[in-house]
Amino acid sequence: MKYLVINGVNLNLTGKREQSVYGTETLDDLNKKIAEYCEKNGDTVDFYQSNIEGEIVNKLHQAFLEKTCDAIILNAGAFTHYSYAIRDAIASINIPVAEVHISNVHAREQFRNTSVLSEVCKGVICGFGVGSYIGAIEALKNR
Ligand code: DQA
């Protein structure tokens, strides 16, 4: 399998921002663990991060139009809670997308309980740090 991991807004600051919520590992640290996991299983993985909503939409379109991957793991950050543009992009592509979050969004502020993306994703994993991404990879593989 070929996976694409997309991280959205503010995820570039992982390991530096709100460490009590998101931990001390950087996004590069997390990506390294995901890459090692994929390599061990004979899979390949690409990574993309952007703070710009439209760039994430473009990346989803590109994956579809150029068939760059078999499945997508998406942590859209705060875009999760209100981006109908990303939602429609996920609905437009015939690639399975898993929604993931480092933190348990259901144990936090009320606004994080709403995801406008979940309905068009294959599933959601949150609260397990890097394990959310690896769990999603495993789940997508076994679909
Ligand atoms: C997050 C949860 C979101 O609510 C938040 O806006 C983020 C990160 C997570 O990975 O836990 O930026 O997606």
- CB 78 near ligand 1, within 6 Å: yes
Query: How would residue 14 be classed by pLDDT, with cut points 50, 70 and 90?
Result: very high
Q: Is 60 exposed, middle or buried (0-12, 13-18, 19+ CB in 10 A)?
A: buried
Say if CB 16 and CB 82 are below 8 A apart.
no
What is the spatial distance between Cα 118 and Cα 125, in angstroms, rounded to a whole number?
A: 10
Predicted confidence (pLDDT) at residue 143 exceeds the cutoff of 90: no
Counting from 1 in the atom list of ligand 1, the atom nearest the Cα of 10 is: 12
Ligand 1 atom nearest 75 alpha carbon: 13
Residue 132, number of CB atoms within 10 A of its CB:
23
Residue 20: both structure tokens together: 């009590």
**Nearest atom within ligand 1 for CA of residue 112:** 4
Q: What is the pTM of this model?
A: 0.98
Q: Distance between CA atoms of 99 and 77, rounded to whole angstroms?
A: 10
Query: Which one, of 48, 55, 105, 50, lies nearest residue 80 by Cα?
Result: 105
Mutate to test the pocket of ligand 1, among 5, 14, 80 (most ligand atoms within 8 A of CB): 80
Domains and CATH numbers, the chain: 2-141 (3.40.50.9100)
Whose CA is closest to atom 1 on ligand 1? Answer: 77
Helix (H) or strand (E) holding 74: strand 71-77
Alpha helices in 1-143 (DSSP H): 19-22, 27-40, 53-65, 84-92, 130-141
Per-residue model confidence as pLDDT tens digits over 84-93: 999 999 999 9
Each residue's pLDDT tens digit, 108-119: 999 999 999 999
* 8 CB near ligand 1 (under 6 Å): no
